[in-house]
A and B are shown apart, each in its own frame.
Chain A
Amino acid sequence: MLNYIIRRIVIAIFLLIGIGIVSFIVIKLPPGDFASRYQQYLLDRGSPMEEAQRAAQNMREQMGLDQPMAVQFFTWVKGMVTEGKFGYSFAYRKDVGELVAERAPKTILLALLCHLISTVVGVGLGIFVAPRKYGFWDNFWSVISFIFTSVPRFSIAIIIMYLVVIVFKGPSLSSFFSPEYVVAPWSWDRIVDMFKHIWPVLIIVGLGGVARNMRVMRANLLDVLGVQYVQTARAKGLKESTVIMKHAVPNALHTIVAYQGTVLPYMMQGEIEAAIVLGLPTMGPLFYESLVNQDIYISGSLLLLYGALILAGNLLADIFLAVLDPRIRYS
């Protein structure tokens, strides 16, 4: 098993390098180099021509933009790994690393919360509907889940925002905390306040995940409920609830674990959509803004980070599954 885990990690590292190369290509793809864009930026801001040119030339030398591509790639990677430097953002006038350090924890927190909700609720609903196959509640939840995977998530965000801001005159949703809690130390009230601000994202992202988890759990549980040992358990005279919870569910759970690798990117994308519309300060809006401003080091770094997060999620799911399920073939 250790062998298997090590192999997964090695593959993940190679994939990460690949993702890094693609992100770097995205950084380099727009016409002109970063320095010339910086120069343009300074000119738009009204700096005199010579000064802008000098600043651009400075930057070119500083960042080694006149070096060959391969060297530039290695400097970029080295900067990230050794010093946490992701490149310079001219719109924010600081290193992208600082921006990311500010926002990544919030993004991950949101993603984990959504994940937790969608897994617990989704699996619970799956267990609830599977024994009632084609009954009222099964059909009801099937229809609901179909709808929640079909409505574009950005439009759910718009509608929630409309209801909160215009109809109920509620607080602005585009921050994690109300002003009085921003710098306050963690306390119960602060957590409650945070949930008051992030619930739309949890709903938008979580419900889609709930729908998917529910469908997978339902299908698995139905498969398991049809096999012989379940029949045997029933024949022994066990209560139906014991049969389901003790015998069927544990054997249906590992597919859910394997499925998390598929759900994670879906959640991540939902988080991006919802956060951009609501303006919640996570990585999503920063990414969008950087794309519009062509602040390419932010775009490239965040692209890499999204890839890395999803990769890490997949890796964890694989490893967890290997530990959980002895039937996994390690080849």
Chain B
Amino acid sequence: MTDEKTNLAEVSQALAKQEVNESYFQLVWRRFRRSTASVVGALMVITLAMLAIFADFFSPTSLYEINLKASFIPPQSVHFVDHDGNFSLAPFVYNSVYTLNPKTFQVMWTEDESQKYPIHFFVQGSEYKILGFIPSSLHLYGVAEGGSIYILGTDKMGRDLWGKECEAGRISLTMSLFGAVISIAIGSVLGVASGYYGGTIDNVLQRFTEFVAAFPNLPLWMALAALVPKTADSFTVFIAMSLIFAMLSWTTLAREVRGKVLSLRATDFILAAKEMGASDARIIFRHLYPNTLSHIIVILTLTIPGVILAESFLSFLGIGITEPLISWGLLMRNTQDIQSLGQYQWILSPIAFIVLAVLGFNFLGDGLRDAADPYAAM
């Protein structure tokens, strides 16, 4: 009899041990990991962020150097076999030299095959500061003095496009993140208030949301961005543009959060908290926010690509970001002129970065959306 009892106790203990205890985030991570697309998306986003943060390291030359003599050099190809047919395991480049087309007087860049420049990795080069304060002069790759290496070619100012594209991610990514965070802040506050208080407040906020959502986003963004004075300093432009993007992007979130809060409001744990005399602020911040947080993060991820696309279009038109700030859209500004595009096709390469960023955040957001509710059946 007693044996049986201890046995039972042991069994139930063992069972309890087995059942323990994956936290919410472990469950989310487990489900997130299972979907290839979302992992790929996360990797894409992390790669772009790394390239942006350590742009100075990934660029073989200084990011701020302007060399008008090197204007519009086509991408240099990396060789393993030289023009005599000798194979070398170490990759090398030939310098681009400049000739004039005798008939049309067009500038032509050809490879100077007399001198090979092997590519060295982790070389010392121009000085820069990591994150703005750690001095360093290490670059991922580079060639010896006298040579040049532009793997994606150069822009009008003779700047290495690859380095510039990495650097442009700083503005494109932080601005979209910043804009999305502001829009999330507005949207979640209005959504929670609307769902929690109900009644007149809900009605008024809902009509207001509807009104903002009825606006055509792009035309209004364009109109407001054009109002930002051209003479404003970089920081003001950055903040103003982020606010402009945030102002119209919060409506989806406000609606979804409201729906979520409406359903949570009637659950037992909120009622219990209310009965125990918790204040509205406590209920909202201790109980409602944490339960909508996963949702908010998902929407945040899905808001970012829209802002990236809009920002690049506005900057491309010249009414968004302006120099000295730089973004992917701004780098494509020269493509507006069909003549230069016809001669220098490689200036289209920022598109790849934009697509990578948009795809990455979309994949990531879709994956998070599935993972955020790990208790639902797949």
Binding site for B on A (CB under 8 A): 11, 15, 18-19, 22, 26, 29-30, 146-147, 149-155, 158-159, 161-162, 165-166, 265, 268-269, 272-273, 276-277, 287-288, 291-292, 294, 299, 302-303, 306-307, 310-311, 314
Contact = CB atoms under 8 A, between A and B. Distances in A.
Contact of A265 (B217, B319, B342): B217
A150 B309 CA distance: 8
B66 to A, nearest CB: 25
B313 A310 contact: no
B349 to A, nearest CB: 11
Given A155-B351, A276-B317, A302-B219, A26 B362 contact: no
A76 to B, nearest CB: 16
Contact of A268 (B216, B226, B312, B317): B216
A19 B214 contact: yes
Contact of A152 (B210, B219, B223, B313): B313
Interface stretch (B80-88, B96-104, B141-149, B353-361): B353-361
22 contacts: A15-B211, A15-B214, A19-B215, A22-B220, A30-B227, A147-B359, A150-B305, A150-B355, A151-B358, A152-B312, A152-B351, A158-B335, A158-B348, A162-B338, A165-B338, A269-B218, A288-B317, A291-B319, A292-B226, A294-B226, A299-B226, A310-B214
A276 B314 CA distance: 11
Contacts of B345: 162
Contacts of A287: 219, 222
A313 to B, nearest CB: 11
A201 B355 CA distance: 20
B305 A151 contact: no
Contact of A269 (B210, B217, B305): B217
B238 interface: no
B216 A307 contact: yes
A272 B305 contact: no
Contact of A165 (B210, B216, B342, B354): B342
Q: Chain A: interface secondary structure? A: helix
Interface string B304-336: 010001001100111100000000000010011
Nearest to A299: B223
Given A150-B355, A152-B313, A292-B319, 11 more contacts: A11-B210, A15-B214, A22-B215, A155-B332, A158-B335, A158-B341, A162-B342, A166-B342, A269-B219, A303-B220, A310-B214
Nearest to A269: B218
Contacts of B211: 15, 18
Contacts of B309: 152
A77 B84 CA distance: 76
B355 A291 contact: no
A291 B222 CA distance: 8
A299 B319 CA distance: 14
Contact of A307 (B214, B227, B312): B214
The 7 closest A-B pairs by CB, nearest first: A291-B226, A269-B218, A166-B342, A150-B358, A306-B216, A155-B351, A306-B219
A26 B313 CA distance: 20
B216 A269 contact: yes
A272 B219 CA distance: 8
Contacts of A153: 313
B53 interface: no
Given A150-B359, A152-B313, A154-B316, A288 B222 contact: yes
A328 to B, nearest CB: 18
Contacts of B217: 265, 269
Contacts of A30: 227
Contacts of B214: 15, 18-19, 307, 310-311, 314
**Most chain A CB neighbours (cut-off 10 Å) among B219, B336, B351:** B219
A187 B84 CA distance: 63
A314 B305 CA distance: 25
Nearest to A31: B229
B331 to A, nearest CB: 12
A307 B214 CA distance: 7
